[in-house]
Structure formats: C-alpha cells, structure tokens
Amino acid sequence: IPDLKPIRWDKSYYSFTGFRDPEQELQQARRVEPTLSFWLRKNEPEATKKYSASLPRRDELSRLKEELCHRFHLSDIRWQRSWGVAHRCSQLQSLSRLSQQNPEALINLQGHDVMFADQSGMNASGHVMLGTMDVHHQWTKLFEQLPSYRALQQQTDWLKERISLLVGGTQVVHKERLGPVQLIADHYSTLSTFHKSLLTGPLRLHPRSLQGLTMQLENDRSKPSLHEMGHFLIPTNCDPPKLQVFLQSHESMLKLCLHTLSLRSLSKEPSVSSSQMIACCQRLAEQPSPLLQGLHLCVSHFFSVMQDGDLCIPWDWKS
C-alpha cells in the first residue's frame, strides 16, 4: 500500500522556488483569525472610545430627523443602506437646506415615508426615495411628480384588492429584500400582468376561504413555494389552475395541522422545501401528540429546543 501522506519539503525549497509554504500559510491564517473573546478584549476599548466620540453626531441625527418629520408631517425617515452616522447627518442637513431655500418644494412630501437610497423615485412600498448622489434640482423635480406617483400607488392598491378577491382573500404583500429596489411602476406592471392572467382562467375559490394568508409576487420565480416566514412566493406567470391547487393544498394542510395539534405557530426553515413541509404536516395531523399543544413548532432537519422555547423537529421525523 503506497504511503499517501503529504510531502513536507524543507523551508529552503519554498525560499528557492518561490512556491507558497502551506504550513506557513496555515499559521498565518490562525494568527489572522483570532477567537471572538480575544478579538473583543483587544477591540472593545477602541469601540467604546469611538462610540463616545460619536454621541454628539448621534444626538444631531435624532434632532434633524425629528425636526424634519415634524415640519413636513413625514411618517418616517429611513435609509436603504447602513451608512455611518456622519453620512446620514449630512443627508438630513442637505434636505434641511433645501427646505429652507425652497420650502414649497417639500409640501408634496407630507404623509410620506422618506428613504435615502441609491436612486430617486418611489419604491413598491410607497416610500419616497432620495438618491444620495442626486442634487437638489433632481429632488425638487421628484417632489413635483409625487401627485402622479400617488395616483399610481392608488391604482396599485386597487389591483391588490382585485387580486385578493380572485385568490380567496389572500393578501398581496411586498417585502423589501437584498438586491435592487423595486420601483412602484415595476410593481404595478407585475400586479397588472398577474391580474390579467387570473382573469383568463378564474380560480374556483370562495372569496374568503384563504383570508388571513399572504403572498408575494416574483418575476424571477418558476414555481410557487412557501416562504419560511409563512407567506407564499408566487411567480407572476403562474398558471391559474396550478396556483389554485397549490394554495388550497398548502392552506388546508397548514390549518389542519395547527388546529389538530393546538399549536401557537407553525413555520419552517429556508432549507426545508414546500413538499417536505406538507409531508411533515400530513404525518403530524395523522399522528397528533398532546405534548405539542400550545408550542411554537418549526419544521427543520434536526431536533432542537431554541433559546426562546421554539421546538424544532426534522421534517422526516421517525414515529
């Protein structure tokens, strides 16, 4: 049997050839990656010092935000990215200067959520986005267009209501996620496309049979699925008959499982597929355990009791 142990060359070999010494690289990696406790002990004093130094800027940020929200009756001011306190202060100061130079320009902002973002416009959630790289002229132009944006938002809300009636009362929601922001115009186009597809083959669902459930439309998805947070992810071009089967099978099984087991909540981890979730729920409903009553149950790949008391069980649990 040949000896398969790795060859350990003399240090002079690496010096002469210029090749990387794996043993030396491993030692360097260990030095580069300290333990968490060691890193905290080393860096906590500097972090505390920097935090103390930032307190005046943090107070200024809170003051500016509160002042702008009060003056122009804004619902909230938020940020798309985790910019530093100084950066966020400068953005609020820029908006404050514009309000002093041209107070009429901000009248249309009343009642809106303002978000400092990578681009100006209105997102699918109805937040007015102010591009951080844009100048005051571009912001002012956006404010002038807000009435038309509001009209588009009203049409979007109307489409959501019509879709909800067609899918048994399931509410259409939009949840921000990592990646490019979806603009209100694109969101309207997605809703319109989905609404038209439902009209070509109406679903045979009672108007309130799926009330209390939520779904999100996605253009880049090929088939319906169940998100770990409990809402449905539905492709915009989903075939209506397949959508009806999916919604009814998932809704009925989840509700049956919750009712049969008297659970407080039922969810799944992202790594658990929709088909695995349904298979697990079917078996739980067929073999109910009184020990699960009143618990928060999460379908996973392993058994675990979480810190908050949630119970994790593998989807293919053994009887």
3-state secondary structure of 234: strand
Alpha carbons 49 and 62: distance in angstroms, whole number: 20
User: For 138-188, how does the pLDDT look when each residue is reduced to its tens digit (9 = 90+)?
Assistant: 999 999 999 999 999 999 999 999 988 888 788 888 877 655 688 999 999
How far apart are alpha carbons 159 and 171 in whole angstroms? 11
Domain residue spans of the chain: 56-261, 262-319
Residue 266 has pLDDT above 70, yes or no: yes
Answer yes or no: are the C-beta atoms of 253 and 226 closer than 8 Å: no
CB 167 within 8 A of CB 215: yes
Taking the C-alpha atoms of 12, 17, 22 and 26 in order, what is their torsion angle to the nearest 10 degrees? 70
- The listed range with the strongest mean pLDDT (40-49, 83-92, 111-120) is 111-120
Kindly tell me if the per-residue pLDDT of 240 is higher than 60.
yes
Segment of 108-117, 162-171, 175-184, 192-201 carrying the highest mean pLDDT: 108-117
Q: How far from each other are the two terminal CA atoms of the chain, in whole angstroms?
A: 46
